[in-house]
Structure 1
Amino acid sequence: MIYLVTLIALVILAVLLWKAFGPDTSAPPAGRVLGPDDDPEFLWRMNRRAHPTTGENPESGPVDPKE
């Protein structure tokens, strides 16, 4: 019986120590990582390569949708 109580106490102690000193999972990631298919500049460059003669000014950059 004493072994069972000791085992339970060790498990509780391990869980408490993990909660106190374990990795911090409450902090959100620093920033959103954009993949190539979400990056407007990448998509603009790919469009320019695929259709080099289309558009009024091929040297103009991607249009910012926030403007």
Structure 2
Amino acid sequence: MIYLLALIVLVTLAVLLWKAFGPDLQRPAGRVQGPDDDPEFLWKVDRQNHRRTGDTSDGTPGDPTE
């Protein structure tokens, strides 16, 4: 029983020392943003959809060659 307790203490100490003095892993500074979260990308896709269907921003049909 004492050996099991000693093992648990040693493992805990090893983990704490590793966290304190181990290699410093750098994480990315910001959140990685996919194209479906990017407002500019979504705006471009929306604009292409409107051009493809021939709609203008006010809802009236427009010339698709514009």
Q: When the two structures are superposed, what TM-score results if normalisation uses the length of structure 1?
A: 0.55
Instruction: Kindly name which structure, 1 or 2, has the bigger radius of gyration based on alpha carbons.
Output: 2
Report the structure, 1 or 2, having the larger helix content.
Answer: 2
Q: Which amino acid aligns with 1:17?
A: A
Instruction: Tell me which amino acid in the other structure corresponds to 1:8.
Output: L
Partner of 1:35: 34
Q: What is aligned with 2:45? A: 46
Structure 1 Cα separation of the partners of residues 14 and 2 of structure 2:
18
Structure scoring higher RCO (CA < 8 A, sep ≥ 6) equals: 1
Q: What do you get for the CA RMSD once the two structures are aligned? A: 2.7
Tell me, in whole angstroms, the C-alpha distance in 2 between the residues paired with 1:17 and 1:30.
Answer: 28
Equivalences for residues 9-24 of structure 1 within 5 A? 9-22=6-19
| Deviation string, structure 1 residues 20-63 (Cα, Å, up to 9, x no partner) | 21478xx87521122323201110111121012534xxxxxxxx
Q: Which runs of 5+ in 1 are unaligned?
A: 56-67
